[in-house]
Amino acid sequence: MIPLFNSCAQESGLGEVEFFIGTWKIEGRETYELWKKEGDKLVGESYKMKDAQKQVSETLEIKKNDDQIIYTATVLNQNQGKGIPFVLNAKNKEWFSFENMEHDFPNKIQYKILSETELQVNVLGKDGKGFSYKMKKQK
């Protein structure tokens, strides 16, 4: 069993989500999430590889704001370039569930640690419908 929370919390207060750091590949696709730590936040991007070219589709950020951990997704060419914030639901102990019930879709972006190198991801709407996939950490 892999602990969900890092025993030595980082200064940023993000110790519990630092498992994101690295490059993750969606199973069966040439789609990736890349996460790195910059100062007091994690920054990431979702991208595809096509003809050996990196095509970024969204930028991501996780930071602590007061007592909340906020996951912000900014999809290129959508929402006038503004990021959509999702707040970590600390009550959900099974998933890292980032939620925004006011957003049209998705309302929940959930990550579950399956192993040190594998994550399950759910992207869900208000009705609980959406899609899911696995990601494997790249070496």
Residue of higher predicted confidence among 45 and 16? 45
Q: Are 40 and 63 in contact (CB under 8 A)?
A: yes
Q: Quick one: 30 exposed, middle or buried, by C-beta within 10 A (0-12, 13-18, 19+)?
A: exposed
Does some domain include residue 8?
A: no
Closest CA to 85 of 41, 37, 137, 133: 41
pLDDT digits (tens, 9 = 90+) for 4-35: 433 333 346 788 899 999 999 999 999 999 99
Does some domain include residue 65?
A: yes
Query: Which residues lie closer than 8 Å to 27 by C-beta, 6 or more apart?
Result: 133, 134, 135, 136
Does some domain include residue 92?
A: yes
**Adjacent-strand bridge partners of 35:** 22, 44
Q: What is the mean pLDDT of the chain?
A: 91
pLDDT digits (tens, 9 = 90+) for 71-83: 999 999 888 989 9
Which residues form the domain of 90? 15-137
Does some domain include residue 1?
A: no
Does some domain include residue 64?
A: yes
Where residue 114 sits, what CATH number does that domain have? Answer: 2.40.128
Identify whether 106 is preceded by a cis peptide bond (ω within 30 of 0): yes
Strands (E), 11-137: 22-26, 31-38, 41-50, 53-65, 68-75, 84-88, 96-99, 108-115, 118-124, 130-137
Does some domain include residue 125?
A: yes
Rounded to two decimals, what is the model's pTM?
Answer: 0.88
Confidence class for position 92, pLDDT limits 50, 70, 90 = very high
Does some domain include residue 2?
A: no
For the chain, how many structural domains are there in total?
A: 1
Does some domain include residue 7?
A: no
